[in-house]
Structure 1
């Protein structure tokens, strides 16, 4: 299973070091493995395996690239018509020694994925990024490039995905996936507006 490069769960002492990234990755791996097993055992799985047909791209930092690729391979084996491209974005903005996804900039993302498209690769219609690439509560990368800029430049829908193994899988299975976390209270405003119309 994915995630064998990270220490076992017992070594994390209740995840007290989540903030350092390594603990977060172990938690993410465990969540993915649990959610994946639950998905394979679910009544919907057979139908989903026959009907899910999409190509998408996941952008991440170099540090997590191998783990994310392992997850993608497991999902593609389970869903024969699912095609996932995982690209580690090289950090030209801050320097190549910076390998975490939270410091990937919009300009590096655009430039490197444009090169892939121009080389003839089919990246699909959706680009999934971890939500930590964006400033908290905003649709903006650290270099002031917006999600809309990336969508326009790459002609793809950008899908910020909440951290967590279950969220990772849900975003791939559901073409309409949107983070339920409020980016500027968006979800709550929508729900309130709908309630007000009744």
Structure 2
């Protein structure tokens, strides 16, 4: 019986990444992502931008399934990253939610990005004009408030009816979400801008 030797340094503890074929006994992995009807037209327009990074960089097989109204993903023998199909699924889901294609692609390049989704009613039950005014406060005139929150928190925000989707790192999502929650609860954009300026100053001092 061979004796277990304790590694002497970090280099001895490094392992080569497993390929999907090694992890799943050579079987390919597939995923089907449904496409909402209102995103089909933009999808066709942006298809080349969606197709290229998934095939050329993640080495996945992909097809647009118009009959099922979905995008079908599949690993191939060339796929090197075992997390490739999950990254691709997150990227397509972000696009489905309404994020710009270039913002959604960042999910493929960076590992610490997430999407947080919540509804206005999760914060406060509003209806009619009160709900419309809350959405108006979040977006602001000509999108100014949303743009300010995005720039300060380094996130991207999609307001889809009563749902709010935020793309960013965990810490930055919290900053954006707190600002939006204050707006939903009735704070004026001016007060939120003031808090965001304070946060922005702290972030600059930290880095």
Say yes or no: TM over 0.5.
Answer: no
Between structures 1 and 2, the one with greater helix share: 2
Q: TM-score range by the shorter chain?
A: under 0.3
